[in-house]
Structure 1
């Protein structure tokens, strides 16, 4: 029974792990929100590799050198709590929602590509046209509005036919 209690004991101070988890969570949130582009509804190999490497690097920063399950549970609970609090805050506050989720941006207006948005989001015309073809759009002239949503998906409004 003594070895079981060893697994769950805390080697680090709980507030120390909460602080580590909080700092890394907010740093990564800011990186993902402001520095990384939204891809057009897909996750490329380089993006996936980046996420895996960030996860590994951030886990080392958050963990310190803990070795017990109890330390890991405190850290995981901190990350879950921040994630829940931000979801709750964005549901109840438009300001929090605007800070966390990027606003939708127009990619096509009245059959014309909005080049400024494509440049800012680093989306090529070929990528855009590929995604539009997936949605059954063959000609830009059929499109009234295409928006890049906060989740990277495209919403398309066609002219009435």
Structure 2
């Protein structure tokens, strides 16, 4: 039955290390940055996976001490914080964050951008329907934001391609140039 339960004498150590690693992870993430769990970017996902792997491995691996796991965990959280700050540098931000993509422009789906983003027309249409959009002709732009959300700019309404935040998104979009405006 060892293959099922392991050695009973080790289970107390596993529980103690798991408790310590859980507490260390909570403390490290609390001292880290709030956005770690609120808004997921590429660096957030990598940090979360690494933290989970470190906590899990340290808790159950008899060959790994708590201190080794704690140092690895704190290092990952510190690196995450450094990269979060580095995102404010334009060159590093471009490497660490996805660029905005224009998926629909003036009612026309931009299939090349869908492919770049790994999305199908069905994915796009489902998102539009969930937002109450039922005709592409009602859409001026669909922006695929850096964190994976969609912004739908209606053809008629308050926002136009010359309005501040829409213009900013179009100017920063990868692979898009407004035919009669900023590029």
TM-score range, shorter chain: 0.5 to 0.7
- Is 1:107 matched up with 2:100? no
The TM-score with structure 1 as length reference comes to 0.58
| Aligned equivalents of 1:117, 1:108: Cα separation in 2 | 9
- What value does the CA root-mean-square deviation take over the aligned residues? 2.6
TM-score by length of 2: 0.52
Q: Within 5 A, what are the aligned runs for 1:150-161?
A: 150-161=146-157
Task: In structure 2, list runs of 5 or more residues that go unmatched.
Answer: 1-16, 18-41, 158-183
Q: Shift of residue 122 of structure 1? A: 2.4
Q: Which runs of 4+ in 1 moved over 2 A?
A: 64-67
Any unmatched runs of 5+ in structure 1? 1-6, 8-31, 34-50
Higher RCO by CA contacts (8 Å cutoff, separation 6 or greater):
1
Report deviation, 1:99.
0.7
CA contact (8 A) 1:66 1:72 kept: no
Distance 1:155 1:66, change over 3 A: farther
Pick from 67, 83, 86: which aligns with 1:86? 83
Question: Residue 68 of structure 1: CA displacement?
Answer: 1.6
User: For the residues of structure 1 that align with 2:101 and 2:147, how far apart are their CA atoms?
Assistant: 11
Superposition deviation, residue 66 in structure 1: 4.8
Higher Cα Rg, which structure: 2
Report the Cα distance in structure 2 between the residues aligned to 1:126 and 1:151, rounded to whole angstroms. Answer: 20
The answer to whether structure 1 residue 70 and structure 2 residue 59 are counterparts is no
For residue 98 of structure 1, give the secondary structure of its aligned residue in structure 2.
helix
